[in-house]
Amino acid sequence: MEEFQGPEPGRHNTSEIRSQRKWWISVFFCGFLVLTGDSLVMLLLNFYYVQNNRSENDQYQQYRGTWTQALIQNVAFPILIPLFFILPKPETVSDQTNTRHPPFLRVLLLYLSLGVLVSVYSKLYALARLYVGWGILVPAQLILTSLFSAFINRLKFNRWIIISIIFTLAADFFCAPAFSGTPTEDESYTYGIKAWLILIFPTLAFSLSLSLTQLGFERVLAKTKRYGGSNKKVFRMVLEMQIFVSFVATLICLVGLFVSGEFKELKGESERFKKGRTYYSLSLVGLALSWQVWAVGLLGLVLSVSGLFADVVHMCASPVVALLVVLAFDFKDDDFGWQRRGALLGSVLALACYFYYLHKTKKKEMAELNKRDNNNNNSEEA
């Protein structure tokens, strides 16, 4: 059975019910952040590439600017620092079992490895969106996430999880949002080995990062008791991980931006922008903030449930995002037809199956708690 990162069972049912309510609220809140972040990112990316005259550029220019987009995806992490210090910090508990391997070194290694992975998939996803579009990217990502969850996180699949994955894959296969950055018909474009490599590596890095993030929450941040005893998991862990991982990824993307010489093209991009430099700057700022909203929601779902659940929620947002793109932009031959309506229904069913599974598991936890309390009361009376 999938391991949940929910509240620890208490001795009294009232406290457990209260904890479970807080857990459900956190799950829905993080899911809302993922949906909001996905929607804003897609709308602003479309606006950026439409205003950047990308359709009028040649093939060489078509695939430029990817280091800039990778940097934008990570650079706005400082906005999370005040929130990190506002949240109350639980009392730490000393753990003598970590004397040979200090928690600091393990945490540092975790953040460095995740930062490298995030920078890799940020760069490659920015290129893949321009090279192969959205249609195959996300479904391949969920398949890899499922495999990593099984082998790395020891996830045991049941029928509700499998049904949810099937509905999610079907929904995303028929409902990729329209994207203005994909190649035009006039540009020479072949779907060969290069395209497949550009497709596989970012999905591989993203899926692996989700599983390693879940493993980091469980085996490093919780078990080192940095935020209290009993393997306690708190939302502060999400902000800490996002800040430090994004810091590492930002440094790597900055190096790539300057080594590749792409920074020289920023002035030309701002001059090509149809709405002018002010809107160019605002679109980049909006993208940076939207990416942080999405990332915090995604990590929150990983902490609360699992990396697989986070990816399912992320993918199920695609039909909603596709509808918003249709309403916001006038792309040729793009509408919200029967296929996308069916995909929206499929996403709803996928989430319903997964949430039903979560509900059954929580209900089972409560029943076991009641049974344990009754046994304790009977033993005391005897």
Distance CA 358, CA 367 (A): 14
Count of positions (residues) in the chain: 382
More confident residue, 378 or 198: 198
Instruction: List residues bridging with 228 in a β-sheet.
Output: 226
Tens digits of residue pLDDT in 347-370: 999 999 999 999 999 888 887 777
Which of 132-136, 319-323, 342-346, 347-351 shows the lowest per-residue confidence on average (mean pLDDT)? 132-136
More confident residue, 31 or 325: 31
Cβ distance 30 to 297 under 8 Å? yes
Distance CA 354, CA 231 (A): 25
Q: Is residue 17 part of a domain?
A: no
**Alpha carbon 73 to chain centroid distance?**
12
Q: Is residue 9 part of a domain?
A: no
Q: Is residue 13 part of a domain?
A: no
pLDDT of residue 10: 44
With tokens 């090279």, the residue in question is: 131
Q: Is residue 174 part of a domain?
A: yes
With tokens 């076991």, the residue in question is: 368
Tens digits of residue pLDDT in 199-219: 788 889 999 999 999 999 998
pLDDT of residue 359: 94
Distance CA 290, CA 250 (A): 16
Tens digits of residue pLDDT in 31-66: 999 999 999 999 999 999 888 876 555 566 677 889
> Which helix (H) or strand (E) segment is 107 a member of?
helix 103-131
Tens digits of residue pLDDT in 256-313: 999 999 998 888 888 888 899 999 999 999 999 999 999 999 999 999 999 999 999 9
pLDDT of residue 8: 47
What residue type is assigned to position 359 of the chain?
A: H
**137-159: average pLDDT:** 89
Distance CA 149, CA 306 (A): 8
Distance CA 39, CA 45 (A): 10
Distance CA 233, CA 229 (A): 9
Compute, in degrees rounded to 10, the torsion defined by CA atoms 65, 70, 75, 76.
Answer: 100
Tens digits of residue pLDDT in 216-260: 999 888 877 767 665 677 889 999 999 999 999 999 999 999 999
Q: Is residue 10 part of a domain?
A: no
- Classify residue 25 as exposed, middle or buried by CB count within 10 Å of its CB (0-12, 13-18, 19+): exposed
pLDDT at 6 over 60: no
pLDDT of residue 81: 96
pLDDT of residue 172: 82
Tens digits of residue pLDDT in 74-115: 999 999 999 999 987 766 555 554 444 447 888 999 999 999
Using DSSP, state whether 168 is helix, strand or coil.
Answer: helix
**Alpha carbon 173 to chain centroid distance?**
19
**165-172: average pLDDT:** 90
Closest-CA residue to 45 (of 134, 121, 132, 108): 134
Cβ distance 206 to 122 under 8 Å? no
Distances (CA, A) of 170 to 138, 148, 343: 11, 20, 7
pLDDT at 17 over 60: yes
Closest-CA residue to 308 (of 111, 103, 162): 162
Distance CA 211, CA 216 (A): 9
What's the domain range around 284?
41-90+100-369
Q: Please tell me the total count of domains within the chain.
A: 1
Q: Is residue 275 part of a domain?
A: yes
pLDDT of residue 350: 96
pLDDT of residue 49: 87
Q: Is residue 326 part of a domain?
A: yes
pLDDT of residue 373: 61
Residue 335 is classified by DSSP as -
Closest-CA residue to 65 (of 268, 295, 247, 248): 268
Q: Is residue 20 part of a domain?
A: no
- Phi/psi for 65 (5° steps) reads 85, 10
Distance CA 279, CA 51 (A): 9
Cβ distance 310 to 156 under 8 Å? no
- Phi/psi for 228 (5° steps) reads 105, 175
Helix axes 307-316, 318-328, angle to 10 degrees: 30
Residue 183 is classified by DSSP as P
Closest-CA residue to 111 (of 257, 308, 247, 236): 247
pLDDT at 322 over 80: yes
> Which helix (H) or strand (E) segment is 134 a member of?
none
Average confidence score pLDDT of the chain: 84
Q: What is the largest CA-CA distance in the chain?
A: 84
